Amino acid sequence: MGIVKLIGWWTVGVFLSITTCVTISNVLGEEVKQTAAWSLSPEEQELISVTNGDILGERDKNGVWDFHLYTTDGYIEMANGELVWVFGYTHAKGSFKDVGEVTTKEQVEQLLEPVKVPSDPIHLFVGEKARITLHNTGMHCADPNSGINHVAHTIHFHGLDLTPSVDGVPSLPVDPVLEHKSFTYELTPQYEGSFMGHCHVDSFNHILAGMYFPIIIHQDRTKTAYGYKYDRDYTLFFSELSATANEQLQEAGVVHGLQDWKADYFLINGRTFTDNLYHPCSVINDPRSRIVAYEDETVLLRFMAIGADHVFAIHPHGYHMEVVALDGRKLKSSYEKDTLCITSGERIDVLVKIPHFASQRKCLSCNLGAGVTIMHDHNLRGMVSTGKYPLGALTIFDVRSKEKVAKPDVPLTEGKPYNPLEH
């Protein structure tokens, strides 16, 4: 009962009757369309399956992976309708290609994807060299008199064991990337695992304003991590965001009383849950964050977190998680948890084994059948954004029965014709 109280009976009902039928099919349809639009080669298509649909860098004739990241600012829309000014990394539309130096707001809008928090993951491979070029396009939506204009940025590759020249700490020994300048970081990953990139200039303000992204390093082209096989792979980045502090940076360039910094939003992959299940900005309408899996499958979840002081306590209903790696290193022996604390800078990789459910019962918050269960921050501060509950770090396991896949010609009991995009 306590579980149901957490999100309310109304939400339970709507979950079961609407979400899995309508909203999810729309999102999956969009994913397929997007992949088609990229016109990928068969090899690239295979890699996209390893990266769970995330786009890859370009590969030059010597096999070196090439990424071009651009720093810029802009607005992200939250599920409560608020537009929050952020700055962070982005890339060319639909790719990590080099589109030259970008210096004006018009060029940003024409050539680059809108800024996201966190920005898109970078996928690398062990032993394969990567060149990551950072371009600083400047700020384009800040007050002309704000001190945030013209600031420099870097990329710190958090968790990678690298030489100081590519460590991204300003002037140790490489100067940060000034406005309208660029710098190329070259590295060859040694270890597979889950890592993150973030700016290291004025770190408190730049990171918390939005300058961070996941880095996933694969051992090979198969769906394995740390020697474990998995069927599906989700990266869930938990973070804090203060619209109030960001607004002060946008207007003045300094945050007044930094010791009182407080998160207005607690995010999973840049979004909050909201009781409007149709809202396109909700965490469960993000295919990167809604955990879709079928019976008998093994799901790899890569948790990572960044923030000022919040400790997220990740709690999935209906499943225990097998912790297989901490901070990008395989554990000598795995262990099981159903509540996992994670704080700024940490990465925790877990496997969730979805049982073969004998029944077709749909159930919220129990493991009696395929269906929807929630996973949320049990440190309940993280379930309250802008003073409202449950506007916070909550997503769902959307577990589907294999029976429906095995019999595509049999209409579902709801009377709808079978649509592979829906199931």
Residues at the site binding Cu ion, with contacts judged by CB under 5 A: 153, 199, 201, 206
Q: Which is nearer to Cu ion, 199 or 299 (CB)?
A: 199
CB of 377 to Cu ion, least distance (A): 27
Q: Which is nearer to Cu ion, 153 or 317 (CB)?
A: 153
DSSP symbols for 49-94: HHTTT----EE-TT--EEEEEEEEEEEEE-TTS-EEEEEEEE-BTT
Q: Which is nearer to Cu ion, 199 or 291 (CB)?
A: 199
Separation of alpha carbons 417 and 409, rounded Å: 8
Q: Which is nearer to Cu ion, 121 or 170 (CB)?
A: 170
Q: Which is nearer to Cu ion, 179 or 295 (CB)?
A: 179
Q: Which are the contacts of 71, defined by CB distance < 8 A and separation ≥ 6?
A: 87, 88, 89, 90, 134, 135, 136, 137, 153, 177, 199, 211
CB of 187 to Cu ion, least distance (A): 19
- Residue number of the CB atom closest to Cu ion: 199
CB of 199 to Cu ion, least distance (A): 3
Burial pattern 215-226, b for ≥16 Cβ within 10 A else e, equals: bbbbbeeebebb
CB of 74 to Cu ion, least distance (A): 15
32 C-beta neighbours (distance < 10 Å), count:
12
Q: Which is nearer to Cu ion, 159 or 170 (CB)?
A: 170
CB of 206 to Cu ion, least distance (A): 3
Q: Which is nearer to Cu ion, 118 or 371 (CB)?
A: 118
Residues found in the chain:
423
Q: Which is nearer to Cu ion, 11 or 72 (CB)?
A: 72
Separation of alpha carbons 328 and 344, rounded Å: 15
CB of 88 to Cu ion, least distance (A): 9
Separation of alpha carbons 210 and 86, rounded Å: 6
Burial pattern 2-15, b for ≥16 Cβ within 10 A else e, equals: ebeebbeeebbeeb
Cα of 150 vs its chain's centroid, Å: 28
CB of 406 to Cu ion, least distance (A): 51
101 C-beta neighbours (distance < 10 Å), count:
13
Contact predicate 399/363, CB 8 Å: no
CB of 119 to Cu ion, least distance (A): 12
Contact predicate 157/168, CB 8 Å: yes
Degrees to nearest 5, angle at CA 30 with 279 and 40: 150
